[in-house]
Amino acid sequence: MKLDLTALLNKRMPKADFDFTVDPSSVEGAAGFPEDIALTGDIRVCGSITDNNGYMALEATVSADYKTVCDRCLKGLTGHIEFPFGRIVRVSASEDGGEDEDELLYVSEGGIDFDRDVIEELSLELPIYHLCSEDCPGLCPVCGKRLDGSCVCEKTKETDPRMETFRKLLDKMKE
């Protein structure tokens, strides 16, 4: 979305607030966006730009909801992410304050459009590893069921006395 900054640039206002959303469908196919994550609503961008004698700073909070799957048990899960987003806004590229290019946004035709920057930063902020819970037991390598009691493989192994005898026998053979 293009944010109109004419009032700020004409010094009629020292501060411009904004609150808008970015359509997640514009994220599809965005370079570097994690493939295992699907956004479930609009990306919200809320903040303000303040003008301090020509030095314009943008400060915002970006938030989004998403769904993905647990890396251990493949159960579907939802998540919420919120992170601070900051940039320095420049009217022209000729000003040089020695800042990192990635930290800058340039005004074009009286406004700025930084949807792409928001999407890029979101893709970096999203967690790489997802767990349905801290102590997710994962899946049984034998039967593929979630190791939360629905799998009986481990139990049978432990309680079957014949298996125990067999194991002792194997140990003896190794000696």
- Candidates 38, 124, 143, 169; binder of Zn ion (CB under 5 A) is 143
Q: Binder to Zn ion among 57, 142, 163, 169 (CB under 5 A)?
A: 142
Say how far apart CA 16 and CA 60 lie, in whole Å: 12
The correct pick among 9, 56, 73, 118 for binding Zn ion (CB under 5 A) is 73
Q: Determine the interface stretch with Zn ion among 11-19, 91-99, 118-126, 143-151 (rule: CB under 5 A).
A: 143-151
Cα-only R_g, the chain: 26
- 22 or 136: whose CB is closer to Zn ion? 136
Question: Does residue 88 contact residue 106 with C-beta atoms inside 8 Å?
Answer: no
CB of 168 to Zn ion, least distance (A): 23
Q: Rounded to the nearest whole angstrom, what is the least distance from the CB of residue 129 to Zn ion in the complex?
A: 11
Q: Which amino acid is at 71?
A: D
Secondary structure in 3-state letters for 70-81: CCCCCCEEEEEE
Contacting Zn ion within 1-60 (CB under 5 A)? none
Shortest Cβ 163–Zn ion spacing (Å): 15
Interacting positions 86-125 with Zn ion (CB under 5 A): none
- Asked if residue 70 binds Zn ion (CB under 5 A), the reply is yes
Q: Which of 43, 72, 87, 122 binds Zn ion (CB under 5 A)?
A: 72
Q: How many CA atoms lie within 13 A of 156 on its CB side?
A: 6
Whose Cβ is closer to Zn ion: residue 124's or residue 142's? Answer: 142
Q: Do the Cβ atoms of 75 and 65 come closer than 8 Å?
A: no
Integer Cα distance of 172 and 153 in angstroms: 25
The SS3 assignment for 103 reads helix
Max Cα-Cα span within the chain? 89
Strands 2-4 and 111-113: what pairing? antiparallel
Nearer to Zn ion, 124 or 143 (CB): 143
Size of the site for Zn ion (CB under 5 A): 11
**Residues of the shown chain interacting with Zn ion in the complex, contacts defined by CB under 5 A:** 70, 72-73, 75, 132, 136, 140, 142-143, 151, 153
